[in-house]
Every structure is written in structure tokens, then in C-alpha cells.
Amino acid sequence: VEEFIASAPKTCSLDRTLTALLETLDLVVNPSVSIRVRADKEVHLAISESDFFVLMGHLVLHAVEHAGTNGEISIHCAGNVPGQGVVITVSSEAQKATPFVLKDDISQLIRSDYTNVSSLKDLSDKFSFGLYVAQSIAERYRTAVEYQDDNDTVIRIRICVPASSGSSRTS
């Protein structure tokens, strides 16, 4: 399987892969969470489809966890910016009175505590395990996950993904 994945093309359609991801997440995400997407349908990325699926999956799941019940997630994908790539921003706005708690004891009991793995000892408290995995995938494509929290109820996660040579330009 590893040989097959390694030989897979390092390009994917942003629209098609993001649609498949959101259809999959629709089965597990609380229906009260609103996810809106604004993306250029003609953008092709220079990243394997499986890597992009996993990368975006971790970013969206982190945003969903932050948003909580009745929260809103926004995914904005700008067109290819020459020299920079395709900028993808995942925003989460929580509709709750209490702030998001990364190391919530009850959540830690429900899903085992992955942050105790020795290879993650340098992981920042702000980054969850999912964001750590997303960053490790991003590093393979010479980019980084940027994280910004405006206040207790809004976060933004931004990544610049390389565009493939056949990608369209958007003004």
C-alpha cells in the first residue's frame, strides 16, 4: 500500500477533494454546526489527494471542536497567487459562553490522550494532535500551518498550498 501511495500523482483538484472530505465529515459532525465553503472550482494543487484530504480533515475537525454546538465554520480558498500558492483559511466561530478548552479532562477520557506520545513532547499547548499532524504534512510541501485566535470564540487557521502548473489564476 505504501508503494502505491508513493507512486500516486502529487496533484489533486481542490474542489473535488474538499467535497469528498466534507461529505465524509457530514456523517460524523453534529448537524447544528454550519460549514460554509467558498472556493474556486478550477484550482489544482501540487499535493497528493490523500495528503490534502488528511491535512484539511485535521484542520476542519479542529475548527469543529472549537466551534462546539451551533458554531460556524468557514473555509475560504483563494485562487492561485503566483509565487505564494493557494491560500486556504479555515475560520471557526464558537456560539458558546465558555471558551474552548484544549485539554478538557472529559474529552481526554473519551478519546485517548495522544499528546502523551513521546515524539510530541515539543508540541505547543495551543496545537492539538490534529494540528501537529497537519503541520507535519504541510512541512513535506515546504509550507506551514498558521494559527490565529482573535478571542475566546474565533480562531483562524491558514495554509498556503502549492498550486500545480495547470492551476488557474484568479484576480
Mean pLDDT of the 38-62 span: 89
Would you state the pLDDT for residue 74?
95
Mean pLDDT of the 119-142 span: 71
**Is it the case that residue 19 has pLDDT exceeding 50?**
yes
Would you state the pLDDT for residue 112?
46
User: Please, what is the end-to-end C-alpha distance for the chain in angstroms?
Assistant: 40
Would you state the pLDDT for residue 121?
40
Mean pLDDT of the 38-48 span: 85
C-alpha cell, 88: 486556504
Long-range contacts of 31-35, Cβ-Cβ distance < 8 Å, separation of 24 or more: 32/69, 32/70, 33/64, 33/67, 33/68, 33/69, 33/70, 33/71, 33/72, 33/73, 34/71, 34/72, 34/73, 35/60, 35/64, 35/72, 35/73, 35/74, 35/75
